[in-house]
Structure 1
């Protein structure tokens, strides 16, 4: 049986596990002390990183938030364990980004940054070298996805759309560490200095919508992705788990373990 690892076991991790035949994959899930979700028979929980590393999974998927990337991913890469990073917004910390880049170059273990809820990143990478390239990323979600934020601000978006934030990718990931990994995926592709991020609560939004508008000497482009929300978490697109499954599958095929 193939052994794979998880960091966290929320809605995204459950979607990943359900995509693999339970009789062919055994999972080791690193969870915080005291956390005890209902786990399928083929998922075993551990509370210490050393226990996960000792199990020698063929790969690990981080699905627990930006803090988990800083806390666990460098050690996994140092141990030679390939890792898929869902919370790419953690790389807005230049110290952490540099450390992971060095480990990727020198340690041999791969760190995979999936597209997540987006497409079109290949286009953004292509224009990144152009000095005049400018990209605007907008996260547009129904007000239900921003209930806590709207309440904290004493605002309502019941009838009209409301812009909650506009600024740089780094500012966006600090302001919304659980919700704007897609914004930093755009920044990683195009270059953070070329990207502006906007967050909109929109009562007319049909789902979790990502809009990318790009201009450069190479031309103009616009991408719009309207993703169904995760059944368990309206702030997360159901596509996120599918993207991680695809990235993990590609990693396993590249490593020759499937």
Structure 2
């Protein structure tokens, strides 16, 4: 029996957790990881996973699914070639699509090459409701990201705040989803996901709060319009390896990979 072929771009915390989980599932996969030849992470890749050094190596390996797990720059650097070659790509760094020019380029590459673009829902839910509700004019979307100070240490230091002494919640940003995703590329992929599923980057309102009392990554979503209202408060455990993201993201990625290859699933 031929095993499904999965190529992963990058090998940070999320990709490492994905590989570990895949090795424990009932379904078997052929896995490969794309890393630069001088990357120190190459030593962390299990022997059962093939190492690739260039995008040409990846394309020659002919994966059935390409997972981007290396940040927004990797979306621009590698995915156009994958889409032009007709591959399906799963994007975890959705905030990269806040760049309208890159977004359009990927759409053009997919249409011309026969590739497909899939976006990871990651740490947020209710996207099915949002997609349906946003078809009705007048739908409004407000999203609040509230995370512990450990997720914002570098950003707070740049603003002159000491994360060890800050006692009250601090609003870091208030504005549109495209601005939020570009300003905080490691923290606001959820804002981009909501915008792309719903009313667009400019019309999705986002507030970003560093909260010393928060113990988890909180996502507070308000959708209102002709279809009705949805109010969701999701509280996620931060990843132990990267507090900027949630532990749930790696499991969301695993679910997305399995759904891509399964015979029956939710639309």
TM-score (norm 2): 0.89
From 38, 43, 51, the equivalent of 2:49 is 43
Matches within 5 A, 1:100-115: 100-115=106-121
User: 1:166 aligns to what?
Assistant: 174
TM-score (norm 1): 0.92
Q: Distance in 1 between matches of 2:37 and 2:144?
A: 36
Q: Deviations over 1:9-45 (max 9, x none)?
A: 0000011111113793332211234212211112232
Ranges in structure 1 where 5+ consecutive residues have no aligned partner: none
Q: Does 1:221 align with 2:225?
A: no
User: 1:53 aligns to what?
Assistant: 59
Q: Give 3-state SS (helix, strand or coil) of 2:262's partner.
A: helix
Matched-pair contact (CA < 8 Å) for 2:171–2:209: yes
From 177, 184, 188, the equivalent of 2:185 is 177
Q: Does 1:89 align with 2:92?
A: no
Q: Distance in 2 between matches of 1:250 and 1:136?
A: 29
Q: Distance in 2 between matches of 1:216 and 1:25?
A: 43
- Per-residue deviation at 1:156? 4.2
Q: Give 3-state SS (helix, strand or coil) of 1:233's partner.
A: coil
- Greater CA drift, 14-23 or 211-220: 14-23
Matched-pair contact (CA < 8 Å) for 2:85–2:114: no
Q: CA RMSD in A?
A: 1.9
Runs of at least 4 residues of structure 1 off by over 6 A? none
Q: Distance in 2 between matches of 1:172 and 1:85?
A: 18
User: 1:11 aligns to what?
Assistant: 13
Matches within 5 A, 1:1-258: 1-21=3-23, 24-37=28-41, 38-156=44-162, 158-192=166-200, 193-253=202-262
* Matched positions, count: 255
Ranges in structure 2 where 5+ consecutive residues have no aligned partner: none
- Per-residue deviation at 1:129? 2.7
Q: Distance in 2 between matches of 1:41 and 1:24?
A: 15
